[in-house]
Amino acid sequence: MNALRGREFDAVVVGGGLAGLAAAHRLAVAGRRVALVEKRDRLGGSSAMSGGWLALSGTALQRTAGVADSDALFLADMVATGGGFADELLLQALVEHQARAVEAIDRAGAWTDELKVSAGMTVARAHLIRIRDLLGFLESEARAAGAVIRRGCAAHALIWDGERVRGIRSESGDLTADAGVVLASGGFSRSRELLELFVPDQAGAMPYGGLGSTGDGLRMGWMLGAGLADIGHVAGTYGQHPETTDDEHELLTANYLGAILVNARGERFADESESYKVLGSAVLGQPGGMAHQVFDSVVRARSRPGVPLSDMERIDDLGHLVSAPTLTALEHGLGIPAGRLRRTVELYNESVSGRTEDGFGRTGLVNGVGPLVPVAVPPYYAYSAVTAMTSTYGGLSVAPDTSVTRVDGTRIAGLWAAGEIVGGFHGASYMTGTALTKALVFGIQAAETILER
């Protein structure tokens, strides 16, 4: 840190996840003097733990796969997913600038061929990228261009000179910046205090996300009168085993491949094709706050090894996939009262065959898309999962250029924010992949805004 003292920077970036690295990278390659501080001893934050799915429209991969997507459909799906609560100006800016994300992924060579429909989408728009390759590329190019990157250095306050933000205070001293500060310190999924304050009904979710996600930047913004957006909609994600360790990724959404969800009594309770955030809240209300994903060998064969959210091999290797030759044996193994699971599956299979209407309105695999399959071909499987607070999609209010705005809508001079710390993009629910896309697109946008000054 001493190497930083006394040096003047154009900008200081707080947080070394995708948003912070994207901002620092863009500023450094444009020749600006930039310092990035990261409070943990390694970079990456929640971004490095993530599944690596990015929502993008009009990509080469979609064209090759014959997917008919458009910017207008992407926008319409996000607006619908947000239930009318998301800020459309921010969503428009995301769609408009997504080409910057595509370019960064191109340059990092981080694409895979995986493309799928996931939560909130009406077409296949979730692109799997090698997220660690992208983070590594941004870091190494930023360093090569002169960015100063410090690990183990937590910012704890913003320096305000009466007119604008001029830098940060940290345990190791002050760091000043002529243009100002980009807050990219992630969400508050690891702060029980903030979760209890904003969304007490979600406080029972398993704490997850990067260990640095304690809402530090959010508090720094408040100190200067920043507004908040989407906070009341923060919700946990369903699909994680209760024994998952801190830095593992063990989310499975077999329901999007055809599984049903049943509670400890063996009863269904929701339309399994809903967003895993909506299901997260539903599962918190079930006995023991858990639900089993129950499926047969047809769905088991749809597993995609190495593909987050669909990788049953990995779950099996971890010893978290239960299997049995009959439904009776499965319900016994899960401790479900005798006969209940079999009855639930019979009712479900009748609705899949079209003889009855589904009691929960399920008409497709995910978001209403994709033909349903009965749970009928042994052996049978179950993955028992809880709701985890992986990420908090509410936070500081911002303008589309990433300027942090006050409660009254005016801009706080010299303060920008990008990534999970920001609210307004998701509204009531979440489309898979939009968190990483927004971190990358608006991390770059924060830098562009500073460069335009």
Ligand X SMILES: Cc1cc2nc3c(=O)[nH]c(=O)nc-3n(C[C@H](O)[C@H](O)[C@H](O)COP(=O)(O)OP(=O)(O)OC[C@H]3O[C@@H](n4cnc5c(N)ncnc54)[C@H](O)[C@@H]3O)c2cc1C
What is the size of the binding site for ligand X (CB under 6 A)?
A: 42
Establish if 50 lies at the interface with ligand X (CB under 6 A): yes
Establish if 137 lies at the interface with ligand X (CB under 6 A): no
Structure tokens at 25: 């990278």
Establish if 105 lies at the interface with ligand X (CB under 6 A): no
Establish if 398 lies at the interface with ligand X (CB under 6 A): no
Establish if 209 lies at the interface with ligand X (CB under 6 A): yes
Could you tell me the smallest distance in angstroms from the CB atom of residue 321 to ligand X? Answer: 19
Q: Which stretch binds ligand X (CB under 6 A): 49-57, 273-281, 347-355, 356-364?
A: 49-57
- HEC string for the chain: CCCCCCCCEEEEEECCCHHHHHHHHHHHHCCCCEEEECCCCCCCHHHHHCCCEEECCCCHHHHHCCCCCCHHHHHHHHHHHCCCCCCHHHHHHHHHCHHHHHHHHHHHCCEEEEEECCCCCCCCCEEEECHHHHHHHHHHHHHHCCCEEECCCCEEEEEECCCCEEEEEECCEEEEEEEEEEECCCCCCCCHHHHHHHCHHHCCCEECCCCCCCCHHHHHHHHCCECEECHHHCCCEEEECCCCCCCCCCEECHHHHCCEEECCCCCCCCCCCCCHHHHHHHHHCCHHHEEEEEECHHHHCCCCCCCCECCHHHHHHCCCEEEECCHHHHHHHHCCCCCHHHHHHHHHHHHHCCCCCCCCCCCCCECCECCCCCCCCCCEEEEEEEEEECCCCCEECECCCCEEEECCCCEEEEEEECCCCECCCCCCCCCCCHHHHHHHHHHHHHHHHHHHC
Establish if 342 lies at the interface with ligand X (CB under 6 A): no
Could you tell me the smallest distance in angstroms from the CB atom of residue 279 to ligand X? Answer: 15
Nearer to ligand X, 236 or 266 (CB): 236
Nearer to ligand X, 212 or 394 (CB): 212
Could you tell me the smallest distance in angstroms from the CB atom of residue 319 to ligand X? Answer: 19
Identified binder of ligand X from the candidate list 51, 167, 180, 227, rule CB under 6 A: 51
Q: Please name the residue that has the structure tokens 């306050």.
A: 157
Distance CA(32)–CA(419), nearest Å, equals 21
Nearer to ligand X, 273 or 432 (CB): 432
Nearer to ligand X, 125 or 268 (CB): 125
Establish if 167 lies at the interface with ligand X (CB under 6 A): no
Identified binder of ligand X from the candidate list 208, 256, 295, 383, rule CB under 6 A: 208
Establish if 14 lies at the interface with ligand X (CB under 6 A): yes
Could you tell me the smallest distance in angstroms from the CB atom of residue 352 to ligand X? Answer: 29
Identified binder of ligand X from the candidate list 23, 32, 53, 402, rule CB under 6 A: 53
Q: What is the contact mask toward ligand X in residues 213 to 252, using x (rule: CB under 6 A)?
A: x--x--------------------------------x-x-
Identified binder of ligand X from the candidate list 435, 441, 444, 447, rule CB under 6 A: 435
Q: Which stretch binds ligand X (CB under 6 A): 46-54, 81-89, 224-232, 284-292?
A: 46-54
Identified binder of ligand X from the candidate list 82, 167, 180, 210, rule CB under 6 A: 210
Return the residues of window 364-393 that contact ligand X according to CB under 6 A. 390-391
Identified binder of ligand X from the candidate list 11, 20, 331, 404, rule CB under 6 A: 20
Q: Please give the distance of CA 339 from its chain centroid, rounded to a whole number.
A: 38
Applying CB under 6 A, which residues contact ligand X?
A: 14-20, 37-40, 45-47, 49-53, 154-155, 184-186, 208-210, 212-213, 216, 249, 251, 390-391, 419-421, 433-436, 439
